[in-house]
Amino acid sequence: MSSREFWARKSEFVVRHRITAAIAAPVLLGGAVAVAVAVLPDSGPRTAAPRLVSSVTDCHDMVTISVAGRNDSPSASTTKLLLGADGKELPAALSDDYHSQWVDPVVNAPDGKVDKGSYAAVYIAYPANMNSYEDAVNAGVANTEKVMQQIKQACPATKFAIVGYSEGADVVRRVATQVGHQEPAKDGSYAIVDPSKVTGVVILADSGRTAGDGPFPGAQNPYSNPDGFDQKYQNGTTPVSGQGAMPDNSGDFGSLNGKIASFCSEGDLTCAAPQNISLLQLAANVGRQLNVDALQAKGLTPATGQDVATVLARIGFNAFQYIESTPNWMASNETLLQVLLKVSEPGYKPGTQQADPAPAQSISTDQLAPLAYLPQKVLNEVVGLIVTNQNTIPVILSDPYKLTLGPNGTGHHFDYWRDSNAADGKPLTSAEYAAAWLTHLAQQAQAGKQIDTTSTPTATDVQAAYKAAAETRSAPTTTSPPTTTTSTTTTTTPVPTTTKPKASEVAQTLETTSPTATTATTDPKASEVARTPETPKPTTVSPTETHTATTTPNKTATTTPTAQPKESATTDAH
C-alpha cells in the first residue's frame, strides 16, 4: 500500500467514526470542554524486551511516577510489570519496558545525566479509557498512590517526581493535591508519602487549573520558575486565559505549592476554558459519566442510549432531591441551572451539599406559599441563564473540538511539544522545560541535596541555557516516514557533550525532547476515534500513533516523540 493510500484510508476512518449529531449536545460539546483531557492516540499494545523483572526493592535516589493519557498505559498482558517487595505485580512498569511517545521525552530526560541506577521512571497502569472517565481517573489515583507507598516502604530515602499528561494530568493533579494536604500521623508518618520527599510535579494540560494561575502555582515566581530551579520558563506575567474544564478539581497543592509546574496552552479548552459557559460545563459533567468509548464506536444505539438516559435520570433525580431537601429553596436566589451543575459533578453525594438560600426580605417564608415566589424565581432563572452563558455561543462558534483536538495534531491540546517562542521570551517548549527541570531534580537527589527555595538565576546560567536551546534547534534531525510494516526505523539526534554546572547541565536535557512540533490525530467529533499522523517534514519530528512501531536499537536520552524503542505493534483504535 502506498503512503498516499494509507493516509487516505485513515481519513476515511475518521469520517466514518464521528459521533452522530444525535448525541452531540451532551457528549460532543462536553467533550470539547472537558472530556478532551483524555484524548490521545492509542499507542497500541506494548511488547516488553526480554529483561530481568524489576522490583521496588531496587532503590534509586529519585523515581519519576508517570501517568500518560488515554489508551497510553502499560498492561500486564503485554508489559513486564514492577514487582512489590512481596513479589506480587504492581500496577506499574519501568520506562525501560513501556514507552509513551508523549511522556517519554520528559521522564527519560535524566538518563545519562546522573549515575546509572540513581534514577528511574515508571509508568502507572490504569484503565486509561473512556468507559467512564471518572472511574478511570479514580483507578489511576488509587494505583499511583499504591505504587508510591510500595516504593516508600522498600526505599525510605527515595525521592519522587510526578508527571502526567491529558487524562493522566487529571490523575496527577488529584494525587498531588492529596499528598500536599496530608496530615501526619502521631508517629510523623504519612499515609501516601512524606510531601518533603516529592521534589516536583509536572501537569501537562491541567484541567483543574484556576483562572489567573501562572504555570508554577504557589511558587515565589509563579510565572517564571518553580522554587529552587534557576531557569526561567518565560518572560512576562500575563496568565493564560480561562480556567480548567473541571473546576470541581481545582485548588492549591498544600505543602507542594512551589513544586508544581502546571502547563496550559492558550486555546486548549481542557485547561483554558472561558468562564460563563455553564451549559457546556453541564454537558461536560454529563460526558464524564458516560461510556464515551461505546458512543464513539457504535453511535447512539439502544445500549448506549440507555447509558445516556441513566446518567441524565440520575442527575435529574439528584436535582429534585436537592431542591426538596433544601428549606425555602423557592425563596432563594439559587437557580435550577446552578443546582444541576452542582449535582452533575461526578463526585456529588446526595445529602452532603446543601445550599444556604437567602429568603425574601419583605415576606416571611412561613406566611407565604412557595408558589408566590415563582415569578421572581423565573426571572432569576432567565437572568442566570443569560449571565452564566455569555461565552457559550462564542465557544460553540469557534468549533471547540477542533480548536482543542484538531486533526493532524493542529489542536492546542498538543502544543506542549512545540510551544516555544524565543522572540517572545519563551526559549523552550513546555516539554523541554519539564525535561530540564526533572534532570535538575534528579541531579540534586543524587547529590543528596534538598531543594533550595531561595536560589536565584545568574546571568551566566541563563545565557548558557538559552545558548544550548538555540544550538539544539540548529542540530540536524533525521526521521524515517511512517510505514505500515513491522520493519525497523531508527531516529537519531546528534548529542553534544557538555560538563558545565547548573543551567548548562540542565540544558543538556533539551537533547531529550525534540523542539519540533508534536502532533496527534483526533476525530473532530469523537474523543479519540482514529489517529492520522501529520506527514513528516525534513526537520520535524511529530509524535504519531503506533499503528506501526518504530524501534531505536539502544535506548538513550535522545528519545524523540515518534520513537517507540524496543516494541513492535500494529493495531487499530478499536
Tell me the pLDDT tens digit for each residue of 102-111: 999 999 999 9
Q: Are residues 259 and 329 in the same domain?
A: no
pLDDT 10s digits, 364-386:
445 456 666 677 777 777 877 88
Q: Are residues 217 and 311 in the same domain?
A: no
Other Cβ atoms less than 10 A from the Cβ of 530: the count is 27
Sheet of strand 62-67: strand arrangement: 92-94, 119-124, 62-67, 159-165, 198-204, 260-263
* Residue 276 grid cell: 460563563
* Residue 339 grid cell: 443546582
291 inside domain: yes
Yes or no: say if 244 and 210 are a contact pair by the CB < 8 Å rule.
yes
421 inside domain: yes
Residues 270-285: what's their mean pLDDT?
Answer: 88
26 inside domain: no
Q: Are residues 92 and 208 in the same domain?
A: yes
Structural domain ending residue among the three candidates 473, 493, 518? 473
- pLDDT higher at 218 or 15: 218
Element (H, E) at 302: helix 302-325
283 inside domain: yes
Cα separation, 369 vs 466, whole angstroms: 70
Least confident range from 82-86, 194-198, 304-308, 450-454: namely 450-454
Structural domain ending residue among the three candidates 408, 439, 473? 473
Residue 233: what pLDDT? 96
Q: Are residues 344 and 440 in the same domain?
A: no
Structural domain ending residue among the three candidates 473, 495, 521? 473
Q: Which sign does the torsion angle of CA 100, 102, 107, 109 carry?
A: positive
- Whether residue 573 is predicted with pLDDT greater than 80 in this model: the reply is no
Least confident range from 58-67, 101-110, 324-333: namely 324-333
Percent of the chain having pLDDT more than 70?
65
Q: Are residues 137 and 163 in the same domain?
A: yes
pLDDT 10s digits, 216-264:
999 999 999 999 998 999 998 889 999 998 888 899 999 999 999 999 9
Residue 297: what pLDDT? 80
Q: Are residues 211 and 320 in the same domain?
A: no
Q: Which of 365-379, 399-413, 423-437 is predicted most confidently?
A: 423-437
Element (H, E) at 384: helix 374-387
216 inside domain: yes
Q: Which among 281, 218, 273 has a CA at the least distance from the CA of 240?
A: 273
Least confident range from 309-323, 397-411, 456-470, 546-560: namely 546-560
Other Cβ atoms less than 10 A from the Cβ of 77: the count is 7
Percent of the chain having pLDDT more than 90?
39
CATH code for the domain in which residue 468 is found: 3.40.50.1820
Tell me whether residue 309 is exposed, middle or buried, using C-beta atoms within 10 angstroms of its C-beta: 0 to 12, 13 to 18, 19 or more: exposed
57 inside domain: no
pTM strictly above 0.85: no
- Whether residue 359 is predicted with pLDDT greater than 80 in this model: the reply is no
Q: What is the residue-wise DSSP string for 256-282?
A: GTTSEEEE--TT-TTT-BPSS-HHHHH
346 inside domain: yes
Q: Which of 141-155, 467-481, 496-510 is predicted most confidently?
A: 141-155
Number of separate domains in the chain? 2
Q: Are residues 390 and 420 in the same domain?
A: no
Q: Are residues 90 and 208 in the same domain?
A: yes
pLDDT classification of 459: cutoffs 50, 70, 90: low
Q: Are residues 247 and 387 in the same domain?
A: no
Q: Are residues 103 and 234 in the same domain?
A: yes
Tell me whether residue 115 is exposed, middle or buried, using C-beta atoms within 10 angstroms of its C-beta: 0 to 12, 13 to 18, 19 or more: exposed
Domain that holds residue 234: 62-270+416-473
425 inside domain: yes
Residue 323: what pLDDT? 86
pLDDT classification of 132: cutoffs 50, 70, 90: confident
Q: Are residues 92 and 216 in the same domain?
A: yes
What does each C-alpha distance from 20 to 26, 27, 236, 282, 522 come to in angstroms?
11, 10, 43, 20, 16
Q: Are residues 80 and 225 in the same domain?
A: yes
